[in-house]
Amino acid sequence: MAPHSKLCAFILILGACSVSLASNNALPEDMHRDMYCIGCEMTMKVVVKSLTRAPKDQLDVLVPQTLRRICKPNHFDISEFSKDSLSDACKHLISEHRTSLEAALVGHYRRENPPSYLDLVQKVCLDLTDACHGVTHDDHDHDPLKDDARVKFDRDSNDFIVLPGKNMKVAKPVLQSTHEEL
């Protein structure tokens, strides 16, 4: 085989491998990356509700059971987003990452003091599945004159921030009088 042919074959193989890897993390056409990320975060919230008090010796059975039943739309009443969209994101997440999710959740809940929900979201939605890779959750469209106030977790500062809104009441301090009262 000529050197030129070897280079072409190598490039074709490399391209095929990258297409194969990209398709493993591809989203359905009707699912936006932001919704997939939010779906992952909400799925972990439902997992926490289901497994927090689970006996450690039964996790090998309970985690797979939980992952099989967790994506029902009624489990996502806790969110302001579409229950059906969150359910679809949950189904996609679990179908693509079931084995690694099971191992991560069993390991998480076997610890003596499992880390917080936010640590679980970091591990699953960012590190393990890449569901939130590149998603910023910007509130650039939040209008404090039209939208309700809400609390948001800021990943950059690792803290909660309050986004003011129309339903937020703030005490208006009264300026101190400079006149002396008799």
- What is the predicted pLDDT for the residue at 149? 73
pLDDT at 9 over 60: no
* Residue 109 within a domain: yes
CB 40 within 8 Å of CB 101: no
pLDDT, tens only, 54-108: 999 999 999 999 999 999 999 998 888 899 999 999 999 999 999 999 999 999 9
pLDDT at 25 over 60: no
Instruction: Please give the residue that has the higher pLDDT: either 141 or 127.
Output: 127
H and E: helices and strands count for the chain:
5, 2
Reported as half-sphere exposure (CB side, CA atoms, 13 A), residue 62 has a value of: 18
- What is the predicted pLDDT for the residue at 24? 44
Could you tell me if 131 and 143 lie in one domain? no
Residue 118 is part of which domain span? 29-137
* Residue 12 within a domain: no
Share of the chain above pLDDT 90, in %: 42
- What is the predicted pLDDT for the residue at 148? 75
Could you tell me if 46 and 119 lie in one domain? yes
- Least confident piece of the model among 16-30, 79-93, 114-128: 16-30
Instruction: Please give the residue that has the higher pLDDT: either 75 or 7.
Output: 75
Q: What are phi and psi of 36, to 5 degrees?
A: -65, -40
Cα 122 from chain centre: 8
Could you tell me if 108 and 142 lie in one domain? no
Cα 115 from Cα 174, distance rounded (Å): 44
Q: What is the DSSP string of 47-110?
A: HHHHHTT--GGGHHHHHHHHHHHTT-GGGGTTSSS-HHHHHHHHHHHHHHHHHHHHHHHHHHHH
Nearest partner of 151 among 88, 80, 89, 71, judged by Cα: 80
Tally of domains in the chain: 2
Mean pLDDT over 4-11 rounds to 45
Could you tell me if 94 and 172 lie in one domain? no
Could you tell me if 118 and 45 lie in one domain? yes
Cα 28 from Cα 36, distance rounded (Å): 10
pLDDT, tens only, 149-176: 766 666 566 566 777 777 776 677 676 6
* Residue 2 within a domain: no
Could you tell me if 64 and 147 lie in one domain? no
